[in-house]
A and B are shown apart, each in its own frame.
Chain A
Amino acid sequence: MPFAVVLILLVVGSLLFHLLSPWTFTELASNWGMVDFTVDITLYVTGFVFVAVNLFMAYCVIKFRHKKGARAAYEPENKKLESWLTVLTAIGVAAMLTPGLFVWAKFVDVPEDAHVVEAVGQQWHWTYRLPGEDGKLGEVDAERISDDNPFGLDPEDPNGQDDVLVYNGEIHVPVDKPVKFLLRSKDVLHDFAVAQFRVKMDLVPGMNTYLWLTPTKTGRFEILCEELCGIGHHTMRGAVIVAEKDDYATWLANQSTFSEINSAPAGNASVGAAQYAVCASCHGQQGEGIAAMNAPKIAGQSEWYLKRQIMNYKNGVRGTHADDIYGQQMIGMVATLVDEQAVDNVVAHILTFPDGDVEATVTGDVTAGRKHYNVCAYCHGKDGMGVQALNAPRAAGMSDWYMARQLQNFKDDVRGGHLQDYHGKQMGFMADILHDEQAINDVIAYINTL
């Protein structure tokens, strides 16, 4: 008897859990309401079967449980009953399958007027490419991918010259217009998934895949990678920004094409030298860093990283957190660099500095730190020299007190908490595995030995 009661309670409890659960589909933001409809039909059919069969079983357990002198019936089979049950099941299955196939047919068939966006996945970032004014994407080839040509575009292909390249994790699309996402991976499998859009598809190196949808709401919708792609899988985030037509046009006008990026003049170190005078008061004449001024060593740091961080300060992506006192100071300083060209110039000047040694100021347990660093090494390299393709800057031979502070900032979301700081957010995830100050000191102590 208790057993049957428990079975009944489990059925009732499961139903209640389902009805009261706050954990349901997120609010729909695309045309794929039909997917939700298919799910609903399936819920009704399977819910009915779940309740009916289990309650029947509980009833049997109550009614036919052993009593003294009882004897079971002898009924090897009942063809009629078995046939009926088979037919009813087949009808239920058809009721679920038919809408499923119908919706899938729509999903497979992309509207001809769809706006095309290429989403490119790599360990562990998203970048994007738009076809430009000619409406054609240029040829790409995995073997042509390099730090200078991360998309692997063919420089000779005229179709590719006006391709718009988007390097941070965000892509904008216009609302209420069908969009076809062409999906491409540079390295391993990834998956492009936006919960509010309901659709997802894997990215497969060596081939192009796709999905399409019509966004119906404006706003920011987070992209998650949903196919295991290595140790940074959970940190591979991006976002689709669905915007009104005009806002979209404004955004698009600010993006650079392949040919614009290629023809941009290189930074001029001698021009940059004059601008560096402002920086020198804290970072030192040779970029060696001055701990007393809370300014880290910048000599020897990678060009792309210096530029990105300065741009982040300029764009309010870094240094805007109330607790980031030193970051806030930087915002004032970078304001003296009026445009991107000025940033390029000053970075070019920094690159002329000799890469001197730094004094170790953080002490910790090197052996413990080495264990932690195993995880860091996936991106920053075993030698700590950084890997541009992974957006991981150099750590070895840089100011250790500064790195310790930044790790703490990442942990506390003082840095990397800004929505547009996708690389910072990634580091935030990774910094979280250092549980306390001791762990941070240990890993820094190990980096000091590299």
Chain B
Amino acid sequence: MAYVAIADRDHEIEHHDPQTFITKYIWSQDHKVIAIQYSITAIFVGLIALGLSAMMRLQLGFPDQFSFINPENYYQFITMHGMIMVIYLLTALFLGGFGNYLIPLMCGSRDMVFPFLNMLSYWVYLVSVIILLISFFVPGGSTGAGWTLYPPQAIMQGTPGTDWGILLMLASLAVFIVAFTMGGLNYVTTVLQARCKGMTLMRMPLSVWGIFIATVLGLLAFPALLVSAIMMLFDKTLYTSFFMPAISSMGADPGYSGGSPILFQHLFWFFGHPEVYIVALPAFGIVSDLLSTHARKNIFGYRMMVWAIIAIGGLSFVVWAHHMYVSGMNPYFGFFFATTTLIIAVPTAIKVYNWVLTLWEGNIHLRVPMLFSIAFVFTFIHGGLTGLFLGNVTIDLPLSDTYFVVAHFHMVMGVSPVLVVFGAIYHWWPKITGKMYHEGLGKWHFWMTFLGTYAIYLPMHYLGFAGVPRRYFAMGNTEFLPDSAQDLNAWITMSALFVAATQILFFVNVIWSLTRGPKADPNPWNATTLEWQTPDTPPKHGNWGHDLPECHRWAYDYSVPGYEDDFIPQNVPADVAPAGRDHGEGH
């Protein structure tokens, strides 16, 4: 699709520059401020979720040594840890945070096309977070149903937090989805309608592609979660039976009949699997740009990378039931979903090859963002390959519901995206704040995070092989498990506490940078993409001063032969510098 010239009609659109502190920083409609608001909130709840994981690791590593952990709050910890990390941290941070910051800047736009809606999106997100946090303090505490919230268990009395916790959880999710929809429509519309002149779709940086497709996935997938949340709320409060068959709970008949617990699982995973890619695709896109920039080399196979993102996004809607191989659904579904799931490995592998081939014959600067990026490729290969075990229906028979699953999804969906998050924060920090960070501290932070997380999750797969089930408060004496399984658990806990503690280095770096960091160069990495070409650093409201930029080339003209600099920004016309490649010329 060609660009549509809303951006060109810039002079017709009034921009009210914010005047007061409140309109500038609180009720702001500037996508950059909203991005920072989203990011700070997401990281704040993420720290809570990190604390929760430390609590559960204490119990698993050293069972029954800590009197403040019992089965009731343990299940509440795991539930809230999972839900916060997946939804309120990663989804919000990648789309609300990076999406908001990068889309208008990388596309050469003044702002999102609906700035007021954008502002509303953040405040509604904040409401969902507040509802979530309140659930810790209601009678009975937050829900302990596991982040998948499977009924009937999620609303029956044998589970912690079925008085109020589950209601607030479902309500919070519904509100979150409203917030996401407001933001998501904005991101999609902005990408499609507000790119600057010359910014064809096939010239967009992969970060924008990843965020764009992830947002489309979110808009299609979140409604499934919304309806299941509402239906479960009805089952809980109005005694409808959407998900509830006739049961006998604790010797009593709660009065349900005719519903299907499996229906909930289908709806949940119809959302839940694309959700994996809602987190992964922005990470894929961002890491592509980081690798390219710091290797001073064009991303290898750009077109293939774009189509791989689109293919993965499309396929992600036809693989959901691979989370349900042993759920009791019709077992014949296994053939179909195992096949689609393993097919998705092909475009994913292509992305990995292309990242690695981008390094080939590059000029690799091992700065902090690059370290995180290469480490991402390493952990993502690991997590992706273990996915081939679980995606293959037969192998799910022994490994489903064990620690192999926990290790797999933390490697692929926890460690890998978080490495990208850190890489991205370090990469764009100079643009966002106008200050440089401390390189040495950043490197220490990298090493401890990377090695520490690998020390947690590599061994964890082997607990799964040995047969340790997930979501167990304690193993007790389980005959088939060697005693050494407990030693391994203790090691994992030590590593986890170490990683959690070392995150302090990141915050020290943030404070150091903001208070005494040197002023940043507007384009410290000599990057080609438009966000580095703004007239001000950090960019002011409206981003571009008087004139919008014009895009003349794709995002990856690094080390173009015959040109002195090893990068040519996207807004440099073809008559000033050679067009490295006639990519996505359009018109």
The one of B304, B469, B561 in contact with A77, judged by C-beta atoms closer than 8 angstroms, is: B304
Q: Which of B158, B258, B371, B392 contacts A230 (CB 8 A)?
A: B158
Q: Is B332 an interface residue (CB 8 A)?
A: yes
**A388 contacts across to B, CB distance below 8 A:** 251
- Alpha-carbon separation in the docked complex, A66 to B359 (Å): 11
B250 neighbours in A (Cβ, 8 Å): 123, 187, 387, 389-390
Whether A390 and B150, one on each chain, are in contact in the complex, defined by CB atoms closer than 8 angstroms, is no
Q: Are B71 and A42 in contact (CB under 8 A)?
A: no
Chain A positions 42 through 60: 1 when the CB is less than 8 Å from some CB of chain B, otherwise 0 = 1001100110011011001
| A74 near B559: Cβ-Cβ < 8 Å | yes
- The residue on A at minimum CB distance from B401 is A226
Task: Say whether A25 contacts B465, CB under 8 Å.
Answer: yes
What A residues does B381 contact at CB under 8 A? 49-50, 53-54
Tell yes or no: A118 within 8 A of B by CB: no
Q: Which of A56, A93, A141 has the most CB of B within 10 A?
A: A93
- B62: shortest Cβ distance to chain A, in Å? 12
A195:B389 contact, CB within 8 angstroms:
no
Q: Which of A159-167, A203-211, A257-265 is found at the contact surface with chain B?
A: A203-211
Give chain B's interface residue range (CB within 8 Å of chain A).
35 or more
Given A57-B377, A77-B304: A72 in contact with B466 (beta carbons within 8 A): no
Task: Please determine whether A64 and B362 come into contact, CB atoms closer than 8 angstroms.
Answer: yes
Q: Write the nearest CB–CB distance from B344 to chain A, whole angstroms.
A: 10
Q: Given contacts A64-B363, A226-B401, A228-B145, is CB(A46)–CB(B388) below 8 Å?
A: yes
Give the total of A residues in contact with B, Cβ under 8 Å.
Answer: 120
Nearest CB in chain A to that of B559: its residue: A72
Q: Is A222 an interface residue (CB 8 A)?
A: yes
With A66-B364, A73-B297, A389-B248: A228-B150 Cβ-Cβ less than 8 Å: yes
A410 to B: closest C-beta gap in Å: 12
In angstroms, how far is the closest chain A Cβ from the Cβ of B447? 8
Once the chains bind, are A46 and B362 in contact (CB under 8 Å)?
A: no
Given the complex of chains A and B, what is the CA–CA distance between A237 and B581 in angstroms?
Answer: 64
What per-residue 1/0 map shows which CB atoms of B373-409 lie under 8 Å from chain A? 0100110011001101100111101101110000000
- The digit string for B99-131, where 1 denotes a CB below 8 A from any CB of A, is 000000000000000000000000000000000
- Beyond A206-B259, A228-B146, A233-B471, whether A375 also contacts B72 by CB under 8 A is yes
Does chain B have a CB within 8 A of A439?
Answer: yes
In the bound complex, what is the Cα–Cα distance between A249 and B71 (angstroms)?
Answer: 40
Q: Indicate if B159 sits at the interface (CB-CB under 8 A).
A: yes
Given contacts A57-B377, A108-B331, A226-B402, contact A72 B153 (CB under 8 A): no
Within 8 A of A (CB), among B471-488: 471-476, 478-480, 482, 484-485, 488
B388 touching A42, Cβ below 8 Å: yes
Distance in angstroms from B213 CB to nearest chain A CB is 20
Contact in complex: A390, B398 (CB < 8 Å):
no
Chain A residues contacting B484 (CB-CB under 8 Å) are 22-23
Q: What chain A residues lie within 8 Å of B328 (beta carbons)?
A: 183, 201-204, 207, 209
Q: Given A38-B394, A57-B374, A93-B343, are A231 and B158 also a contact pair (CB < 8 Å)? A: yes
Instruction: Scan B232-255; emit 1 where CB is below 8 A from any A CB, else 0.
Output: 000000000000011111111100
**Quick check: A50 and B385 within 8 Å, CB to CB?**
yes
Q: Does B319 contact A (CB under 8 A)?
A: no
Q: Mark B243-283, 1 if CB is under 8 A from A, else 0.
A: 00111111111000111111000000000000000000000
* Contacting pair A189 B559 (CB below 8 A): no
Given contacts A64-B361, A97-B339, A206-B247, contact A74 B298 (CB under 8 A): yes
A76 with B581: CB separation less than 8 A? yes
Say whether B247 contacts A205, CB under 8 Å. Answer: yes
Q: Mark B149-164, 1 if CB is under 8 A from A, else 0.
A: 0101100111110000
Q: Look across to chain A and name the residue whose beta carbon is closest to the beta carbon of B563.
A: A74
Asked if B556 is at the interface (CB within 8 A of a chain A CB), the reply is yes
Is there contact, CB below 8 Å, between A428 and B72? no
Contact segment of B190-198, B347-355, B542-550:
B347-355
Q: Which of A39, A86, A142 is close to B245, meaning CB atoms less than 8 Å apart?
A: A142
> B394 contacts which of A107, A122, A430 (Cβ < 8 Å)?
A107
Q: B346 near A86 (CB under 8 angstroms)?
A: yes
Interface presence of B70 (CB below 8 A):
yes
Separation in Å of the B257 CB from the closest CB of chain A?
8
B301 touches A104 (CB 8 A): no
- The residue in chain B whose Cβ has the minimal distance to the Cβ of A73 is B361
**Across the interface, which residues of B come within 8 angstroms of A200, CB to CB?**
326, 397-398, 400-401
Residue of B at shortest CB range from A6? B451
Within 8 A of A (CB), among B446-500: 451, 454, 458-459, 462-463, 465-467, 469-476, 478-480, 482, 484-485, 488
Q: B253, A143: Cβ atoms under 8 Å?
A: yes
A110 to B240, CA, bound (A): 36
Give the docked Cα–Cα distance between A429 and B469 (Å): 16
Q: Closest chain B residue to A439 by CB distance?
A: B67
| B158 engages A224 (CB within 8 Å) | no
- Which of chain A's residues have a CB closer than 8 A to the CB of B471? 228, 233-234
Q: Are A42 and B556 in contact (CB-based, < 8 A)?
A: no
- Interface contact B71-A375, CB-CB below 8 Å: yes
Docked complex Cα distance between A230 and B151 (Å): 11
- A162-196 contacts to B (CB < 8 Å): 183, 185-189, 191, 193, 195-196
Contact B261 A189 (CB under 8 A): yes
| Interchain CB contact under 8 A, B462 and A21 | yes
Residues B350 and A187 in contact, CB atoms below 8 Å apart: no
Q: Which residues of chain A are within 8 angstroms of B301 by Cβ–Cβ distance?
A: 76-78, 82
Judged by a CB distance under 8 angstroms, whether A17 is at the interface is yes
Contact A234 B71 (CB under 8 A): yes
The reply to whether B394 and A234 contact each other, CB–CB distance below 8 Å, is: no
| Given A93-B342, A200-B401, CB of A188 within 8 Å of CB of B158 | yes
Residue pair B395, A35 in contact (C-beta under 8 Å): yes
Smallest CB separation, B476 vs chain A (Å): 6
Q: A46-B386, A60-B356, A232-B158 are in contact. List 14 more A-B contacts (CB 8 A).
A: A22-B484, A23-B485, A77-B300, A78-B301, A86-B346, A93-B345, A103-B394, A145-B248, A187-B248, A188-B247, A189-B152, A206-B245, A207-B328, A390-B251
In the A-B complex, the 6 residue pairs with the closest CB atoms = A206-B245, A389-B251, A230-B158, A195-B467, A209-B328, A73-B361
Q: List 10 A-B contacts (CB under 8 A).
A: A21-B465, A25-B398, A25-B466, A35-B394, A57-B374, A60-B362, A97-B338, A195-B467, A201-B326, A429-B476
Binding site for A on B (CB under 8 A): 63-65, 67, 70-72, 75, 144-146, 150, 152-153, 156-160, 245-253, 257-262, 295-298, 300-304, 326-328, 331-332, 334-335, 338-339, 342-343, 345-346, 349-350, 352-354, 356-357, 359-366, 371, 374, 377-378, 381-382, 385-386, 388-389, 392-395, 397-398, 400-402, 451, 454, 458-459, 462-463, 465-467, 469-476, 478-480, 482, 484-485, 488, 556, 558-561, 566, 580-581, 583
